[in-house]
Amino acid sequence: MAARRRGRSFLVAVVCLVALAVAAGAGWWAARATLEPQTQAQESAAPDVVWAEATTSSVGRSLPLSTTLRQPARTVASNAVAGVVLSTSPGDVEQGSVIYDVAGTPVRVVEGEVPFFRELARDVEGDDVAQLQQALIDLDYLDGEADGDFGWRTEGAVEDWQGDLGLEDTGTIPLGRLVAVDRLPTVIQLGESIVRGATLGGGEESVLAPTGEQHFVLVVTQDQARMIPAEATVDVTYADQSWEAVIAGSEQDEFGNTEFELVAPDGGPVCGDDCDILPGDAQVTLRSEIVIVPRIEGTAVPAAAVHTRADGSAYVITESGETEVTVRGTGGGIAIVEGIEVGTQVQALAGTVPAPAPQPAPEAPPADEGTGGEESPPPDEETGDESGTDDGGADDEPPATEG
């Protein structure tokens, strides 16, 4: 009996040991099967490190739009010639230009601030006479200065002018033949009544000319307005001239658009001392560019290559280790930095470098290399670039012998 009990106990012990061994093997297999995919996933999730070469580039943001120059006009003359309008010539005018014709009588424009209000003839004096004399001087019909005295020299100059124009050389200028405009050359408009075929009786508003006021306005949609910061600058261009402008104020027009008022940085007109070169039209469209983010040029690296420490300082990882840099600006996936030179290799993550794609870091030569073999240069990497007579009067008195 005792021998039988000892045999049964031994068998139970063996079975328990086998069970423990099987359980331990199953646990090891399960742990291995679980840990291997996790390790493989971690290895596959590790980012690929690539190298890029610092280049010269720029960052910034601007919006190309148009600026409207508005030049208000005012009435400078009324019609004083009766008859049917045969022709009109508004627009660009200069000294002596015909602006409209009534029943074969041409009406001409001359420079001056005093409206013509009477017939100009011998022995008349005044500022209106001086305006006529200056026109005759500019047209090479009169020598000397415009003294405002309609004498025999002015009379002779008027006769010569009339003869060359095919008019009767009376030596006098009837009322209504001349219109005074403050500044010439300029662009004038004609009154609503001065149209070809209309019958005029006199007194109609005939000529409107620019007042000299100039308002530069940037008209944008609401969506565009939200993109433009109040401190933005605007580069306005006309012909070969360019001016910088700033936003002085804004308002909405009847269509829901935003109108930004533009002035020079000193608060004066945008065109500064060059306003005379602009056309005199009531509205002039000028090419402009709104600088939303000022353009910065310098050494460029991928933005993802720049790291920031807890204290706010920035650095990049070069082949020699961490190198501190100063970030001057970012945009389009690149950063403009100071602290490294163009051509420096910097470390970034795959997929974060602007085209062309960077290559893996060059491998160091074997430690036992020294047989004179040529070392291959590192791959050439570049990041993309993101984007002004005499002094006598016009009319001396004639010689004593004149009748």
The per-residue DSSP string of 215-252 comes to EEEEEE-HHHHHHS-TT-EEEEEETTEEEEEEEEEEEE
Burial annotation 157-187 (CB, 10 A radius, 16+ → b, else e)? bbbbbbeeeeeeeebbbeebbbbbbeebbbb
DSSP per residue over 143-161, as a string?
Answer: -SB--SB--HHHHHHHHHH
Say if residues 52 and 346 touch (Cβ distance below 8 Å).
Answer: yes
- Our measurement of the distance from residue 296's CA atom to the centroid of its chain's CA atoms, rounded to an integer in Å, reads 17
Separation CA 169–CA 160 (nearest Å):
7
| 57, 296 Cβ separation under 8 angstroms | no
Contact status, residue 319 vs residue 346, Cβ threshold 8 Å: no
Enumerate domains of the chain plus CATH numbers: 62-70+213-294 (2.40.30.170), 82-109+180-210 (2.40.50), 118-174 (1.10.101.10)
- Residue 38 token pair: 């996790």
**pLDDT string in tens for the chain (403-residue length):** 555 555 566 555 555 555 555 565 555 555 555 555 555 555 555 567 789 999 999 988 888 999 999 999 999 999 999 999 999 999 999 999 999 999 999 999 999 999 999 999 999 999 999 999 999 999 999 999 999 999 999 999 999 999 999 999 999 999 999 999 998 988 899 999 999 999 999 999 999 998 888 999 999 999 999 989 888 999 999 999 999 999 999 999 989 999 999 999 999 999 999 998 888 888 999 999 998 888 899 999 999 999 999 999 999 999 999 999 999 988 888 999 999 999 999 998 765 666 544 444 444 444 444 444 444 444 444 333 443 344 445 555 444 444 3
